[in-house]
């Protein structure tokens, strides 16, 4: 049994001594899993993002406000003051006689919630009510809010994945964490700033007409809005007044790529609309020849070219004083699609490959020194028994390595510290046993009796003492994050394997030796 | 018999319990000092717990920290700390969290990089960039405190379950002593207190507990063996019985830790220093705090009389 465990340990630890490329070519029946190095050892980026779900709700309420306005207008119901509340929209009806009509019309806005299954069948997204003061309240139901937020997070994960895939990062890990968080882990990324820039933009692209009737500095008309210029473009203008109505948006894009603007010669992004988008774009440009339209990305005007002739082909270019990198990034973002809500970076941990390699080297050196020092010390303290303990220590290391490979646990820098600490602490079980044997020898027991007594008496102590450390390791794993979890894993492995080797392996070796040599006194 | 390195001679008879009043006074003084320093100086929290941005750079030649500090502080990014990190050409820059959302944090990193590139010729290697937002840092504080609290509670229960309540009170008193003194150590030295230090404290708790259990285990055994012996002598005897083991394990652990401290690199230096401190006070507290508490609380010996000797015939087949 003991031999089996040790052999398994050796088999599983072996792949770690070969380069990854050659291990991948091994036949399938051989274990080929290597220990995963944490991001702090191989370099890379860890990003914890939060989907701004509140903004999804705010946006929904804003669009609900316009729907209410449109509905009441078309039904000729008199109202004043549409206001947005925390979870809904409120509107005051001016004619009490129209109360029932209004209620019926507004209820028509409520829609069943479409979920992919089980959840709240038949639930609707709006509660509509008119109070005694003639104020209508349209409130989003809790189900509707939950559903919107859930789908926003899911979509965000998808868009994040697409954007990262477009950058060609190998082996990214993108996971949902908790309610509204996304954990992105990118091993070996050499330019984390670019990834952050890519993820930091919602990349919502819209084409809107510039409002020429409004005078800058004057009052902005109700159907228009003032937007800042992007600042990169050569134009002197710092803000634009554009119509709220969206001609075409990024959702209608089917492709985008980097190109060069034939007029200015600078980098630009060429895009292509789908059929519906192309048709709509063609129509609006036909109707508005000679007027400028604004190309807006995330609320900033990139450029506002004048429509010289109808654009019917369904494609065009955006030029706005980009660098090649910026044009590349923008076309990547447009291809991957817009995020449903902004993402905030809650936590970032990026380690360059140089530091990772240094840490691995330092960890290896420290392990070797610790290993040798402890081994020498054990031989000095216990002689032959020390050698046996050292064999156990070696097996320990193999078991930890094999276990980590088998479970595909991640080795981090604190994890290496855990291993080194284990080297120091692993001998404890053997020390307990050997000290006990010494005591038993002193009481005049025969070698075999002293050995038996030593092992059995030390056993409860070993278990009690190690369970307490194990408790600490489990809690560390539960509450620690990233690298600290790695430490907990190696510590726990170290404790378990040191108990195993001390209780079984060293005993086996010593008993075998005694049967062979039949010593009259224990050399301890 | 061949020569053996013996750190502790056989059959020692140190009378540890005679020292208990002095030891209690000493420990109490250290604990009070720790708390006082904690209040006056506070802990030098790293970005894990305070939020903010950390940048570790490697410059082409030895870094001129004064010049770098001047360049970065002229950016007016708020609370700022620069320190040499391990090597003369490596510098750790910490900036407090900027007002605003992640865009502002991002911008801060950019302007720092810009400022450094202005004053340093040649290529700067950005070895590490970390940012921790306020939400995450407060969660980490909570998780750390919870883990520590739960660890102490779990030990209390485990020892209670395996021994008697007096033992569990004694063990946890020793643990609290260790934790308070470690906090004090960090307050006085001003070493950065971050996530890995919490890991170190939990490991210290595990280690110290380990030591205490070994002594307690022997006390329990001796209580069964010597029914008439005075409790004070019995505790002394148990400590002396296990003294050799306690010393040996401390030494091997220390050997490993010193190796880590010397060649392990600056990233884990704080963790290693905390552990070294912890091993020293953990060993001390098992003997001078955990054991005397038993004496003060008294042990109901009849409980141990009734129990059968668990150790007998409990061997595991090889």
- Taking the alpha carbons at both ends of chain B, their separation in whole angstroms is 28
Answer whether B264 sits within 8 Å of A417, measured CB to CB: yes
pLDDT at B1: 47
Answer whether B256 sits within 8 Å of A459, measured CB to CB: no
Please report which helix (H) or strand (E) contains residue A256, including its range: strand A253-260
The answer to whether B280 contacts chain A (CB < 8 Å) is no
What Rg do the C-alpha atoms of chain A give, in angstroms? 35
Residue B75 CA to residue B113 CA, distance in Å, equals 11
Indicate which CATH number applies to the domain containing B141: 1.20.1640.10
Q: Residue A121: exposed, middle, or buried by beta-carbon count in 10 A (0-12, 13-18, 19+)?
A: exposed
Whether A8 is in a domain gets the answer yes
Answer whether B210 sits within 8 Å of A468, measured CB to CB: yes
Q: Are residues A380 and A498 in the same domain?
A: yes
C-alpha of A485 from chain center: 16
A459: which chain B residues are within 8 Å (Cβ-Cβ)? 311, 314-316
Which residues of A, range 446-465, sit inside 8 Å of B by Cβ? 452, 455-457, 459-461, 464-465
In the structure, what pLDDT confidence band is assigned to residue B238 with cuts at 50, 70 and 90?
Answer: very high
Q: At residue B5, does pLDDT exceed 60?
A: yes
CB pairs under 8 A between A and B: 256
Q: Are residues B119 and B235 in the same domain?
A: no
From B132, B162, B185, give the residue that closes a domain: B132
Answer whether B213 sits within 8 Å of A468, measured CB to CB: yes
Q: Are residues A297 and A419 in the same domain?
A: no
Interior CA angle at A465 toward B250 and A469, to 5°? 85
Which residues of B, range 164-223, sit inside 8 Å of A by Cβ? 195-196, 198-199, 202-203, 205-207, 209-211, 213-214, 217-218, 221
Q: Please, which residues bridge with residue A391 across strands? A: none
In the structure, what pLDDT confidence band is assigned to residue A30 with cuts at 50, 70 and 90?
Answer: low
Of B202, B256, B313, the CB nearest to A476: B202
Please tell me the distance in Å from A259's CA to the nearest CA on chain B. Answer: 28
Whether A208 is in a domain gets the answer yes
Whether B91 is in a domain gets the answer yes
Q: Are residues A364 and A252 in the same domain?
A: no
Closest residue of chain A to B5, computed from CA coordinates: A381
Residue A369 CA to residue B197 CA, distance in Å, equals 23
Residue A99 CA to residue A77 CA, distance in Å, equals 9
B205: which chain A residues are within 8 Å (Cβ-Cβ)? 472
Residue B22 CA to residue A75 CA, distance in Å, equals 90
Indicate which CATH number applies to the domain containing B120: 3.30.70.3400
Structural domains of chain B, count: 2
The answer to whether B107 contacts chain A (CB < 8 Å) is no
Whether B8 is in a domain gets the answer no
Q: What is the pLDDT of residues B203-234, one digit of tens each?
A: 888 889 889 999 999 998 898 888 888 888 99
Structure token digits, residue A195? 């990834």
Whether B272 is in a domain gets the answer yes
Residue A204 CA to residue A298 CA, distance in Å, equals 5
SS3 A141: coil
Answer whether B150's CB lies under 8 Å from B1's CB. Answer: no
Of B106, B155, B271, the CB nearest to A471: B155
* Percentage with pLDDT > 90 across chain B: 31
Q: Are residues B73 and B156 in the same domain?
A: no
Rounded mean pLDDT of A447-457?
Answer: 87
Q: Are residues A318 and A364 in the same domain?
A: no
B209: which chain A residues are within 8 Å (Cβ-Cβ)? 465, 468-469, 472
Residue A15 CA to residue A425 CA, distance in Å, equals 27
A366: which chain B residues are within 8 Å (Cβ-Cβ)? 259-260, 262-264
Q: Are residues A87 and A136 in the same domain?
A: yes
- Between A480 and A347, the more confident residue is A347
pLDDT at B311: 44
In the structure, what pLDDT confidence band is assigned to residue B316 with cuts at 50, 70 and 90?
Answer: very low
Indicate which CATH number applies to the domain containing A22: 1.20.1640.10
What single DSSP character describes residue B286? I
pLDDT at A183: 92
Residue B71 CA to residue B205 CA, distance in Å, equals 43
Whether A165 is in a domain gets the answer no
Q: Which domain holds residue A335?
A: 200-348
Indicate which CATH number applies to the domain containing A267: 3.30.1360.200
Nearest to B51 by CA among B144, B130, B145: B130
Answer whether A229's CB lies under 8 Å from A235's CB. Answer: yes
pTM comes to 0.82
Please tell me the distance in Å from A177's CA to the nearest CA on chain B. Answer: 13
Nearest to A165 by CA among A124, A199, A121: A199
Q: Are residues B84 and B153 in the same domain?
A: no
Whether B4 is in a domain gets the answer no
Residue with tokens 């052999």: A7
From B86, B116, B132, give the residue that closes a domain: B132
From A88, A110, A140, give the residue that closes a domain: A140
Q: Are residues A369 and A437 in the same domain?
A: yes
User: A386-416: buried (b, 16+ CB within 10 Å) or exposed (e) per residue?
Assistant: bebbbebbebbbbbbbbbbbbeebbbbbbbb
Structure token digits, residue A243? 């119509």
Residue B193 CA to residue B270 CA, distance in Å, equals 8
Answer whether A347 sits within 8 Å of B252, measured CB to CB: no
The count of other CB atoms within 10 Å of the CB of residue A425 is 27
Whether A266 is in a domain gets the answer yes
Please tell me the distance in Å from B13's CA to the nearest CA on chain A. Answer: 15
Answer whether B55's CB lies under 8 Å from B112's CB. Answer: yes
Residue A438 CA to residue B41 CA, distance in Å, equals 49
Q: Are residues B87 and B189 in the same domain?
A: no
B315: which chain A residues are within 8 Å (Cβ-Cβ)? 452, 455-456, 459
In the structure, what pLDDT confidence band is assigned to residue A135 with cuts at 50, 70 and 90?
Answer: confident
Residue with tokens 């102490």: B152
Q: Are residues A293 and A360 in the same domain?
A: no
H helices of chain B, in order, are: 20-41, 47-50, 65-73, 102-119, 134-162, 165-189, 195-225, 231-263, 269-285, 291-297, 301-306
> What residues contact A483, with CB distance under 8 A and at least 6 apart?
A38, A40, A412, A413, A414, A415, B195, B196
Q: Are residues A510 and A382 in the same domain?
A: yes
Average pLDDT score over chain B: 86
Q: Are residues A17 and A84 in the same domain?
A: no
Q: What is the pLDDT of residues A154-200, one digit of tens each?
A: 999 999 998 998 888 878 889 998 888 999 999 887 778 888 888 88
Concatenate the DSSP letters of all residues of A306-327 into one string. Answer: B--S---SSEEEE-SS--HHHH
Q: Are residues A63 and A28 in the same domain?
A: no
Q: Are residues B274 and B295 in the same domain?
A: yes
Answer whether A352 sits within 8 Å of B128, measured CB to CB: yes
Q: Are residues B103 and B219 in the same domain?
A: no
Structure token digits, residue A108? 């028509």
Q: What is the pLDDT of residues A368-390, one digit of tens each?
A: 999 999 999 999 988 888 999 99
Which residues of A, range 36-55, sit inside 8 Å of B by Cβ? 40, 48, 50
Q: Which of A61-75, A300-314, A316-330, B181-195 has maximum average pLDDT?
A: B181-195
Of B102, B143, B264, the CB nearest to A363: B264
From B101, B117, B132, give the residue that closes a domain: B132
Q: Are residues B105 and B245 in the same domain?
A: no
Rounded mean pLDDT of A259-266?
Answer: 81
Q: Which domain holds residue B75?
A: 52-132
Whether A79 is in a domain gets the answer yes
Sequence-ordered strand ranges (E) for A55-172: 79-84, 88-93, 126-130, 135-140
Nearest to B189 by CA among B306, B107, B270, B290: B270
Q: Are residues B207 and B112 in the same domain?
A: no
> What residues contact B248, with CB distance under 8 A and at least 6 apart?
A381, A431, A435, B7
In the structure, what pLDDT confidence band is assigned to residue A119 with cuts at 50, 70 and 90?
Answer: low
Structural domains of chain A, count: 3
What Rg do the C-alpha atoms of chain B give, in angstroms? 25
Q: At residue A349, does pLDDT exceed 80?
A: yes
Backbone φ and ψ for A127, nearest 5 degrees, come out as -105, 125
Q: Kindly provide the ipTM of the predicted complex, given to two decimals.
A: 0.84
Residue with tokens 């060293």: A506
Q: Are residues B117 and B255 in the same domain?
A: no
Residue A420 CA to residue A496 CA, distance in Å, equals 15
What single DSSP character describes residue B62? S
Nearest to A483 by CA among A12, A9, A178, A44: A44
Q: Are residues B170 and B227 in the same domain?
A: yes
Q: Are residues A325 and A257 in the same domain?
A: yes
Q: Are residues B79 and B228 in the same domain?
A: no
From A328, A348, A368, give the residue that closes a domain: A348
In the structure, what pLDDT confidence band is assigned to residue A233 with cuts at 50, 70 and 90?
Answer: low
Closest residue of chain B to A193, computed from CA coordinates: B106
Q: Residue B149: exposed, middle, or buried by beta-carbon count in 10 A (0-12, 13-18, 19+)?
A: exposed
Average pLDDT score over chain A: 83
Of B202, B210, B272, the CB nearest to A417: B272
Backbone φ and ψ for A35, nearest 5 degrees, come out as -65, 135
Closest residue of chain B to A509, computed from CA coordinates: B318
B198: which chain A residues are within 8 Å (Cβ-Cβ)? 480, 484
From A318, A348, A378, give the residue that closes a domain: A348
Residue A267 CA to residue B176 CA, distance in Å, equals 64
Q: What is the 3-state secondary structure (H, E, C) of A152-176?
A: HHHHHHHHHHHHHHHHCCCCCEEEE
Whether B313 is in a domain gets the answer no
Bridge pairing between strands B87-95 and B52-58: antiparallel
Answer whether B127 sits within 8 Å of A351, measured CB to CB: yes
Whether A190 is in a domain gets the answer no
Whether A164 is in a domain gets the answer no
Closest residue of chain A to B113, computed from CA coordinates: A193
Whether B3 is in a domain gets the answer no
Sequence-ordered strand ranges (E) for A393-489: 410-411
pLDDT at B100: 73
The count of other CB atoms within 10 Å of the CB of residue A149 is 19
Answer whether A488's CB lies under 8 Å from A476's CB. Answer: yes
Residue B252 CA to residue A374 CA, distance in Å, equals 6
Q: At residue B33, does pLDDT exceed 90?
A: yes
Whether A189 is in a domain gets the answer no
SS3 A95: coil
- Between B94 and A104, the more confident residue is B94
SS3 B232: helix
Answer whether B195 sits within 8 Å of A503, measured CB to CB: no
Residue B127 CA to residue A350 CA, distance in Å, equals 8
Residue A127 CA to residue A115 CA, distance in Å, equals 18
Sequence-ordered strand ranges (E) for chain B: 44-45, 52-58, 80-85, 87-95, 125-132, 192-193
Q: What is the pLDDT of residues A491-523, one digit of tens each?
A: 888 888 888 888 888 888 888 888 887 777 777
Mutate to test the interface with B, among A367, A417, A437, A447 (most CBs of B within 10 A): A417
Whether B310 is in a domain gets the answer no
Residue A475 CA to residue A473 CA, distance in Å, equals 5
Bridge pairing between strands A343-351 and B125-132: antiparallel
Whether B311 is in a domain gets the answer no
Which residues of B, range 32-91, sit inside 8 Å of A by Cβ? 56, 58
Q: Are residues B119 and B175 in the same domain?
A: no
Residue B147 CA to residue B151 CA, distance in Å, equals 6
CA within 13 Å, CB half, B114:
8
pLDDT at A466: 86
The answer to whether A406 contacts chain B (CB < 8 Å) is no
Closest residue of chain A to B127, computed from CA coordinates: A352
pLDDT at B313: 39
Q: Are residues A109 and A32 in the same domain?
A: no
């Amino acid at each position: 049994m003991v031999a089996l465990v040790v052999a398994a340990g050796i088999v599983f630890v072996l792949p770690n001594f070969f380069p990854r490329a050659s291990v991948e070519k091994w036949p399938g029946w051989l274990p080929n899993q290597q220990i995963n190095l944490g991001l702090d050892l191989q370099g890379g980026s860890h990003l914890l993002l939060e989907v701004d779900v509140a903004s999804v709700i705010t946006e929904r309420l804003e669009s609900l406000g316009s729907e209410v306005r449109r509905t009441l207008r078309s039904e000729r119901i008199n109202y004043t003051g549409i206001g947005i509340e925390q979870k809904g929209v409120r509107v005051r009806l001016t004619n009490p006689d129209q109360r029932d009509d209004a209620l019926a019309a507004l209820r028509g806005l409520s829609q069943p919630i479409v979920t992919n299954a089980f959840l709240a069948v038949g639930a609707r997204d709006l509660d509509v009510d008119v109070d005694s003061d003639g104020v209508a309240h349209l409130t989003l139901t809790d189900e509707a809010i939950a559903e919107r937020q859930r789908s926003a997070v899911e979509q965000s994960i998808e868009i994040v994945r697409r954007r990262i895939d477009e950058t060609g990062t190998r082996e990214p890990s993108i996971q949902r964490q908790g309610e509204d968080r996304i954990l992105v882990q990118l091993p070996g990324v050499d330019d984390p700033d670019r990834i952050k820039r890519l993820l930091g933009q919602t990349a919502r692209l819209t084409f809107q007409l510039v409002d020429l009737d409004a005078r800058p500095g004057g009052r902005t008309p109700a159907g228009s809005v003032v937007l800042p210029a992007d600042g990169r473009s050569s134009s002197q203008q710092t803000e634009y007044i554009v119509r709220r109505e969206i001609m075409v948006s990024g959702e209608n894009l089917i492709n985008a790529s980097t190109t060069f603007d034939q007029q200015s010669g600078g980098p630009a992004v060429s895009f292509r609309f789908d059929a519906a988008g192309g048709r709509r774009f063609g129509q609006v440009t036909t109707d508005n020849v000679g007027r400028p339209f604004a190309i807006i990305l995330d609320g900033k005007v990139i450029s506002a070219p004048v429509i010289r002739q109808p654009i019917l082909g369904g494609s065009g270019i955006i030029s706005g004083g980009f660098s090649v990198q910026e044009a590349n990034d923008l076309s990547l973002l447009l291809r991957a699609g817009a995020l449903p809500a902004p993402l905030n970076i809650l936590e970032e941990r990026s380690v360059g490959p140089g530091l990772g390699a240094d840490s691995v080297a330092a960890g290896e050196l420290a392990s070797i020194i610790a290993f040798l020092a402890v081994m020498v010390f054990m031989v000095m303290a216990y002689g032959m028994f020390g050698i046996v303990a050292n064999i156990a220590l070696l097996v320990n290391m193999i078991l930890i390595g094999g276990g980590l490979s088998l479970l595909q646990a991640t080795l981090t820098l604190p994890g290496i510290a855990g291993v080194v600490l284990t080297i120091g602490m692993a001998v404890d079980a053997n020390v307990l046993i050997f000290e006990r044997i010494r005591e038993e020898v002193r009481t005049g027991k025969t070698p075999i009796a002293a050995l038996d007594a030593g092992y059995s008496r030390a056993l409860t102590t070993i278990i009690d003492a190690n369970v307490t450390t194990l408790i600490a390791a489990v809690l560390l794993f539960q509450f620690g994050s990233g690298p600290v979890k790695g430490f907990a894993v190696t510590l726990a492995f170290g404790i378990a394997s040191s108990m195993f080797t001390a209780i079984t392996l060293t005993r086996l070796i010593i008993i075998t030796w005694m049967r062979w040599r039949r010593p009259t006194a224990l050399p301890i | 018999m061949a020569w053996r390195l013996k750190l502790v001679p056989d059959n020692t008879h140190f009378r540890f319990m005679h020292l208990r009043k002095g030891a209690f006074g000493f420990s109490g003084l250290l604990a009070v000092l720790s708390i006082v320093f904690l209040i006056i100086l506070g802990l030098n929290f790293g970005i894990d717990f305070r939020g903010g941005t950390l940048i570790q750079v490697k410059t082409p030649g030895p870094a001129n920290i004064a010049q770098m500090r001047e360049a970065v502080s002229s950016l007016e990014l708020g609370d700022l700390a620069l320190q040499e990190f391990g090597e003369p050409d490596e510098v750790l820059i910490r900036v407090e969290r900027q007002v605003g959302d992640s865009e502002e944090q991002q911008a801060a990193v950019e302007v720092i990089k810009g400022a450094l590139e202005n004053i340093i010729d040649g290529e700067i290697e950005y070895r590490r960039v970390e940012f921790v937002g306020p939400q995450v840092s407060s969660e980490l504080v909570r998780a750390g405190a919870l883990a520590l609290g739960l660890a102490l509670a779990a030990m209390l229960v485990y020892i209670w379950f395996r021994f008697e309540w007096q033992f569990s009170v004694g063990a946890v008193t020793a643990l609290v002593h260790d934790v308070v003194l470690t906090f004090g150590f960090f307050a006085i030295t001003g070493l950065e207190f971050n996530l890995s230090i919490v890991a170190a404290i939990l490991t210290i708790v595990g280690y110290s507990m380990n030591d205490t259990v070994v002594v307690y285990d022997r006390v329990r055994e001796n209580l069964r063996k010597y029914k008439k012996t005075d409790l004070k002598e019995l505790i002394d005897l148990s400590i002396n019985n296990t003294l050799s083991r306690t010393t040996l394990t401390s030494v091997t652990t220390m050997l490993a830790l010193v190796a880590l401290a010397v060649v392990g690199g600056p990233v884990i230096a704080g963790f290693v220093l905390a552990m070294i401190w912890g091993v020293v006070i953990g060993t001390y507290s098992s003997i001078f705090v955990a054991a005397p508490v038993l004496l003060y609380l008294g042990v109901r010996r009849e409980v141990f009389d009734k129990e059968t000797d668990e150790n007998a015939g409990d061997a595991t087949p090889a």
